[in-house]
Chains A and B, each alone.
Chain A
Amino acid sequence: MRINRLDLTRYGRFTDAILDFGPRPVGSADLHIIYGPNEAGKSTTLDAILDLIFGIGNTSRYGFLHPYNTMRLGANVQVAGQAREFVRIKRAQNSLLAGDERSLADAEIRADLGGIDRDAFSTMFSLDDTTLEKGGENILASRGDLGELLFSASAGLSDLSRHLVAIRADADGFYKFRGRSGLLGDLKARLTELKQKREELDLQVTEYRKRLTELNRLDALYDRALTERANTKRQADEINRVLSALPTMKRLTALRDQFDALEIVCEPPSSWSSELVEIRKGDIAVRVRLDEVGRSIQEVEKEITQTVDDRVALGLSARVADLTKILEPRYLTALVDIPKLSGRIAELSVEALLLQLGKGDEITPARLVLDAVTIGKFRALITERSGIDARLSSASQELKRAQRALEDEGESVSPFEEFESPGRINAFKLLAATVRALPRSDDALAHRSLMRRCESMDVVLSQNLAQLAPWRGTAGELAMMAMPSPAKLDDWKSRYNEGRDRVKAAQADLGRLEPEVRRMDVEIDLLRARAGEIDEASVAASRAARETAWMSHRKTMDATSAAAFETAMRADDQLVTQRLIHFAEASKLAQLKLTRASVASDIEIARERLHAAERCLAEVRSEMSGALAAISFGASLDPAELEEWIRRRAIALRTREDRLAIGQEIADIRDRVEQSKKQLLAAMQGAGVAGNVDADLATLFSAAEQELDLFNLAMDHSDRLRRLTEEITERTSARDDAMKTAREWDASWRELCDGCWIGEEQQVPDVGAVNGILQVLEKLATAVEARDGLVDRVQKMEKDRMSFEAAVFELCDRLKVEHSGSPTELARIIAERVKVAERSQEQRHKLAKDLERKRESERALVVERDIFDARMNEMTTFFGCVNADEVEAHISLFSKRQALQSSIVELEQGLVEISRAKGIAEVEQQLALADREALEEQLEALTPALEDQDKTCRDLFHERATAQKAIDAIGGDSVVAEIEEQRRTLLVEIEERAGRYLELRAGVTAAEQALKLYRDRHRSGMMTKASEAFRTISRGAYTGVAAQPSRDGEVLIAISAHGGSKSADELSKGARFQLYLALRVAGYFEFVANRPPIPFIADDIMETFDDFRAEEAFRLFAQMAEHGQVIYLTHHRHLTEIAQKVCPGVLLHDLETIQSSLPVKAMAAE
């Protein structure tokens, strides 16, 4: 995880501030220093990073400027291998958004954190004074398993143990040693329950066998009881039968006697008894009806003779009908209509019409009526006439108007004759086309503006060239100049920078070392001054002098030598004594000299480095000036300046190119104008228009246009004259046509008038007269036609009246009726006569039919009577008797015999059945022997025995049924099978869960054991790392840390350089903080060793560190920054310098700059 950019959009004091950490640097440490004085927002930045990753807390204290609901952080974060945009707003849920405002799971931004929570992160990797100390104290205070603590924090698996406990709990849910509850117990309980249920419901084989045996026993007992009971019952039944047969036998004997007493009769057909009744009833009815029919025949015959027959009237009935239905209505109509029609004839005024026509004396008015053809022709001509008149008058008017127009225009000669030749017209047309075709663009305008731009460009170019000082020359020379390649330039740059850095470093070393040498020199001098010549050399010299003196004294052994030796010895002793006195100074002196020598050598080395670096710089410079000999820069040319010069040269060259381009454009415009002018002049010459060759294009254009206007005017005038002349010709011919048509019409009119009576007059009538005549003629034709129709109808009616009267009188004569009364009354009398005659004829017909029917039924009745007589005769003959009553007596006797016979047979059969005998004879024999009383006694004795046996049977039956029911109750149902199935499923479940339990337990155990091993191993790695870090930060004051077993587990102790050890709480505050930091550094290295890197952020945690320790701390940070992003926030300027010194690649961010750029941004936004 790496923060590439942090947007403090609305957070705390920040508005739209952006901290851009840039991409991860390649090849150098990813270390960032954020500098800001107090109140610049360092802590805010630290918290912003935490809030970005873990969410803005409920009661955030950064809502003072921007209210909670507007707070917003953004970032570009490298996470899980890709750079992603994130936004964090303050909200209870879904507060993490993607760049496109889509909400994201928090895990997305924390993917690389390995489950570290906010607390752990701020304790380990996001430090300020407080957390550094508090976290450190926690580590110390825990006094527990230090390895675990370190491990937890570094591996991000602080929850590991908790998870393992949860898994173990999961397993224990199934079964736990000595646990009271658990699934296994429940399942077992259910098993037991099912087993019990099964036992209640099921029937096993052995039990079944027992029940079956019992059933068989009961079966046998029941069968025996049944047999005994049946025997007793049979005996009793036998006695009962005999007893019940005795009364029946007695009745049978009585019936037999009765039967024998009856007379024997022949057996008649069975239907006779009913037939006899019917015959006797039918015979009487037939005779009564015969009498009735005879009487009614006589009555009808009498009525026929009384009816009249008027044959004359009947013969005339057709004519009378004709008279009343046809002739009489016509007669009546004629009487009414004749006077009415005569009146209407008189009303018609044919004469008046004739007078209107001036033909009062016309005898046959019909002659005057014109046929339809003639009338049609008249009407057509009349219509046509009005059109002809209109045409004639309009043609004349238009002709006059045209003539007037021509006069107005003036028929004089055209003032524009000079243009009339075709050659000139063509030349003018060409001129017009040329004027149209030539572009009248803003060339002149463009030309002017380009000239102005050209001038200003020249100025810019000369300025640009001036910028290139000290180089002097023209733009052309500049363009031709050879330039070093960008790669070469980069090379120079890097080498130059490197050289410069090295020079700086060497100078810094010298600056530090040289004063130190001087200090030492002074110190040595002082020591020397204080202790005299006590250094090794003078001691050695004195010792040598003493030895020499001794040697010479041994040789000579005289007083001189002795004195010399004594002096030498004393001097030596003196020196030794001096040395003994100043021994401490001496050793310090020696130490100082040693140190001075070493520092002097360092200085030498630094000087050499300085020279080498300077040489390197000189080399680069000489290379540069060699490559750019033409420019003659000063000796102190640096590649950055060179690069700047090259950039300016590029600008100058670009300006030159632009200038050239504009020059080209100006030339183009000039060429275009010349060309146009040439074309225009040629065209003008052709049209005879004078044009000044030296005039400019615009002047030429206006001259040409003026001439063209004149030409166009002339053309228009001649066009108008031509059109008017043509129009007059046209109009004259139209008028002549109209007059000719009028003449033709007059001829037709006359001809038509001559063809009818209208032409009889001397003068041919005009259109108006004929129109009047035609209207009167229409009325006349109608009147004549109506009069003729009426006269015809009056004549026909007269004829009808006469024919009716003749017919009436004739019929009166035929029927001998007197002619007294009107013909209509007579006609009614005649009709009445005929009607009466017809009615009596009809009456006679009806009576004759009635008579015929009655005679027919009389004949049928006679036949019926004969049949009855014949059947009666048959019966009397059969029985040999005379009348119907006797026949009836015979039949009833026969019926009685038959009834007796059947009763006897029935009784006999009953007896045979009761006695179970073969025939009635056997029965009679048995019963004859039976003694009633003896039998009754026997029966009485049997009854109680039978009752006993009945009870036994019933009891046994009940017992047997119960047993059978018990067996049947087993049934083939599936209850037990279902229970078995449930039991099996439970067992499978237990097996399954037990397997899982074992797996989980096995897994948890393995994980626990592995975890222990893992911790042991990593603890030592962590301790080593922490020791190294502590040694580095403390600049060797402490060699490391160690864990020491104690009463409560382990405690952390610091090992000092002198070999002593101190527990952490005994350390000075500075040393303690260094230890705390060392632990974090170790943790960081442990964390990133095997997983994606995460940022490490610290906010001024080095308050208690001196500069040297701070330097070492930064060195560690730089090492950490090789793995991941390290951000250090500080308000100490000198710390930034130290950081830069330790790690030249460090990136500095100034919070104040970020802040000061804000108003600009805000304004831009507004």
Chain B
Amino acid sequence: MVYRFLHTADIHLDSPLRTLALRNLELSKLIGLATRRSFVRIVDLCLEERVDALLVAGDLYDGEQTSMKTARFLAEQLARLHQAGIGTFIIRGNHDALSKITAELVMPDTVKVFGAAAETTLVDRDACHFPVAIHGLSFAKPHAPESLLRNFPPPFPDAVNIGLLHTSLGGSPGHDLYAPCSVADLQQSGFRYWALGHIHRRSAVPGGASTIIMPGIPQGRDINEDGRKSVSLVTIRDDRSIIVEERHTAVAQFERLVIDISQAADWKDVVLEVNSKLESLSSTVSADHLVARVELIGTNDLAWRLRRDTDLLRTELELRAASAGNIWIEKVVASPTIPGHSRDRQSGALHELASIIDEEILGSTDYVGELCSILDELRGQLPAELRDTFGRDEASFEALASQLARNGASQVLARLRSGEGE
């Protein structure tokens, strides 16, 4: 008889979405608590598909997550699986390594949380079916600089061995180094399936001695976790071959939409162009809602106006998107430039002012010094959580300063130019 399980990781339960789009109350109702809703859908999927088990390869919560409500919610959901006779296998990851809330919870009997020493659970199956052994290891610290692979016991003879491991593999940008190991090491382990976690973007090494799946985060939480997210529905057939299917449980999907507006003739054109791109993007999205960051590039005579009236554009796009029902604008970033021929035509005082800013002001020590003092003043006013947003100190700020100054100058010039044209 086949053995089926659902493999996921990095659920980060109750970790809120990080987007300005949630300021929209309507949207907040639709996609708020997305990590929760997505987890409910994962449990629903287990029940629908009548899987044998749910495997969670670490990072059920964020480390700072200490609300018992979250734990209670988890317990409720796992109880649903328990009632249906579906087992749950959980390891801790770097984020929930120190989590106390799991420890306090009384989990149903069918839930297995692997401890700091490697353990093996032999799945209870009829003698006539192939045996399944699930191995897991939770490292109790948020940092694991070395490979944890050697701590695993040897494969259980004659069984299909499944390993749960939270690992950064060879390392991935944006993710802390954690229990690094190589795909080759995993392939040689003698395990048939490696259920990995930690890296939020999906990757898979199918075939080979061992099928290795990093399922990625099931629900992206900000624009940096954009794109389609999934969990893996794994079937081990009687001939011990493995089929991995991707399933989508995300409530919302973040996407960057970069649009070259060089061809747009007027404002309306831009809106229509963006709108049509949004609609076609929306048709490819697997989640219920598309939350898009629209980035306008290219060269266009409208550049100044777009920079100045980004808010207006955003409102207009939101209005149009609202009619689609599932498209939302996260943010509009307008950074188009004025085409060369227009620039040549644009002589005059402002043009000269612009080149003075560009060539003489932005690099000057006086100017940078003044910027630093503006920032210092603001930093003192920001809430503690944001103190480090604009660099931890003056040195790290300077890198940011040039970008700020360039954008700021463009913004101000755009407004002066439009003021001139009025």
Contact = CB atoms under 8 A, between A and B. Distances in A.
Interface of A: 107, 114-115, 151, 155-157, 159-160, 163-164, 167, 175, 177, 184, 188, 191, 202-205, 208-209, 212, 970-978, 980-985, 987-992, 994-995, 997-1007, 1009-1011, 1013-1014, 1090-1091
Contact of A1006 (B14, B68, B69, B405): B405
Contacts of B389: 991, 994
B113 interface: no
Given A188-B383, A1007-B353, A998 B404 contact: yes
Interface in B53-82: 66-70, 72-77
B409 interface: yes
Contacts of A1002: 371, 374, 401, 404-405, 407-409
The B contact surface, by secondary structure, is helix
A999 B411 contact: yes
Interface residues of B, number: 71
A1001 B389 CA distance: 17
Contact of A978 (B32, B72, B377): B32
A987 B69 CA distance: 23
Contact of B371 (A160, A184, A1005): A1005
23 contacts: A115-B422, A159-B419, A163-B419, A164-B412, A167-B412, A184-B381, A205-B104, A970-B68, A972-B74, A973-B69, A976-B70, A977-B67, A977-B70, A980-B16, A981-B16, A982-B22, A985-B22, A994-B390, A998-B375, A1003-B407, A1005-B370, A1007-B416, A1011-B353
Contact of B408 (A159, A982, A1003): A1003
Nearest to A209: B104
B36 A160 contact: no
A177 B381 CA distance: 10
Interface stretch (B172-180, B199-207, B276-284, B361-369): B361-369
Contacts of A995: 390, 404
B360 interface: yes
A1010 B32 CA distance: 46
B23 interface: yes
B50 interface: no
- Give the top 10 A-B pairs by smallest Cβ distance, nearest first: A1003-B408, A1003-B412, A972-B73, A1002-B408, A981-B16, A155-B349, A999-B408, A972-B72, A984-B16, A1010-B356
A1061 to B, nearest CB: 30
B119 to A, nearest CB: 24
Nearest to A1011: B353
Contacts of B385: 987
B144 interface: no
Contacts, number: 208
Given A155-B348, A205-B101, A1090-B352, A115 B405 contact: no
Contact of B16 (A204, A208, A977): A977
Contacts of B182: none
B163 to A, nearest CB: 30
A985 B23 contact: yes
B342 interface: no
B69 A985 contact: no
Contact of A1004 (B348, B408, B410, B421): B408
A965 to B, nearest CB: 14
Contacts of A1011: 353
Contacts of A974: 14, 33, 36, 69, 73
B73 to A, nearest CB: 3
B353 A994 contact: no
Contacts of A212: 104
A975 B69 CA distance: 9
B353 A988 contact: no
B364 to A, nearest CB: 8
A157 B72 contact: no
Interface string B392-422: 0000000001001101111111011001111
Given A115-B419, A115-B422, 5 more contacts: A163-B416, A984-B18, A984-B22, A988-B20, A1003-B405
| Most chain A CB within a 10 A radius of its CB, from B16, B349, B421 | B349
B382 interface: yes
Given A971-B72, A974-B33, A987-B383, A202 B67 contact: yes
B72 A990 contact: no
A978 B69 CA distance: 12
| Most chain B CB within a 10 A radius of its CB, from A114, A151, A985 | A985
Contact of B366 (A984, A985, A989, A1009): A1009
A1082 B347 CA distance: 19
Interface of B: 14, 16-20, 22-23, 28, 32-33, 36, 66-70, 72-77, 100-101, 104, 331, 347-353, 356-357, 360-362, 364, 366-367, 370-371, 374-375, 377-378, 381-383, 385-386, 389-390, 401, 404-405, 407-413, 415-416, 419-422
Given A205-B104, A1006-B361, A997 B378 contact: yes
A163 B357 CA distance: 17
A475 B104 CA distance: 128
Contacts of B17: 981, 984-985
A987 B419 CA distance: 32
A412 B252 CA distance: 125
Contacts of B18: 984, 988
Contact of B410 (A167, A987, A1003): A1003
A1005 B405 CA distance: 9
Contacts of A981: 16-17, 22, 28, 32-33
Given A990-B383, A994-B382, A1004-B412, A1090 B16 contact: no
B70 to A, nearest CB: 7
A160 B410 CA distance: 15
B67 A203 contact: yes
A151 B356 CA distance: 16
Contact of A998 (B14, B22, B104, B408): B408
A1001 B420 contact: no
Given A160-B416, A203-B69, A1010 B16 contact: no
B371 A1014 contact: no
A200 to B, nearest CB: 13
A1091 B419 contact: no
Contact of B68 (A163, A203, A1009): A203
Contacts of A977: 14, 16, 33, 36, 67, 69-70
A998 B390 contact: yes
Contacts of B104: 205, 208-209, 212
B226 to A, nearest CB: 16
Nearest to A1007: B412
A164 B416 CA distance: 8
B66 A205 contact: yes
A639 to B, nearest CB: 44
A897 B374 CA distance: 116
A1090 B349 contact: yes
A1000 B16 contact: no
Contacts of B351: 1090
Contact of B386 (A107, A990, A998): A990
Nearest to B400: A998
B16 A1007 contact: no
Given A970-B68, A1002-B374, A994 B386 contact: yes
Contacts of A164: 412, 416
Contact of B367 (A976, A987, A1000, A1006): A1006
Contacts of A1014: 349, 352-353, 356
B343 to A, nearest CB: 13
A999 B383 CA distance: 19
Contacts of A114: 348, 420
A970 B357 contact: no
Contacts of B409: 1002-1003, 1006-1007
A204 B100 CA distance: 10
Nearest to A983: B16
Contacts of A1009: 357, 361, 364, 366-367
B415 A163 contact: yes
A115 B420 CA distance: 6
